[in-house]
Each structure stands twice: as C-alpha cells, then as structure tokens.
Amino acid sequence: MANQLYPKGKKKILDADIDLLVDDIRCVLIDTADETYNAADEWHSDITGAGIVATSANLTGKTTVDGTFDADNVVLTAVTGDSAEAIIFYKWTGTSGTSPLIGWMDISAYTPSGLDAIVAWHANGLFKI
C-alpha cells in the first residue's frame, strides 16, 4: 500500500474542518495483519481495535510551510504488542467516532520490545498538498 491521504480527510482539510496547526493531531502505529487502508474509512472508530499497536499524544512543532505538513518526531513510550507496518494520523476530538482520519503511511516493520519507539518523519514532512 502506498502512502495515502484519506479522501474524506482531504475534504475536511480543504473545508477547514481540520486545522493542522491548531487541532490535536495524533498518530497510531498499525498492525497491517489486523487493519488495512480503506479509502472509505472516515473516523478513528473505523480502525480495528486489534490493529492499533500504540497511540501518540498531540503532535508538537507542527508547521505547514509551502503546503507541506510537518511535525516534530514522536516518542511512543514502552511499546508492546503486535508488529507495526503502518501509521495512521488523525484529528483527535476526544471521541473516536468523531475523530477524522487524515492519512496512512507505510513504514518498515517495527517489532515492539517494551522500549520507547521513535517515529521520525521524513525530511520532506508528513505530506504535501
């Protein structure tokens, strides 16, 4: 699966329902044995619970320079569980059923060992519009 923005997430960005700089934007490590990209998915609640390996807090250092969304690297504390092969980022509203998905990123397989996991974004940012 290639990196993708969720179609409904793109619309929410364009309609100003998602403010990447102001809103609580988070990411989750995903086990692709339990969760796969589906363009029809819209909400955090559409993610299979077994597919979530670890969840971040609100991203920090968010920028949108020249149409590129970027943020500071993320540290996920003491990650355990299934392996992860993707990351989903989304706007957290406090309720899974109203938290819109933004994008899917493939990653090299990560096997949790109980240690912290560092999510280092590409030098070109998370995505560009």
**What's the whole-model pTM score?**
0.95
Distance separating the N- and C-terminal Cα atoms of the chain = 19
Q: Tell me the pLDDT tens digit for each residue of 15-48.
A: 999 999 999 999 999 999 999 999 999 999 999 9
Mean pLDDT of 67-83: 96
Domain ranges of the chain: 4-128
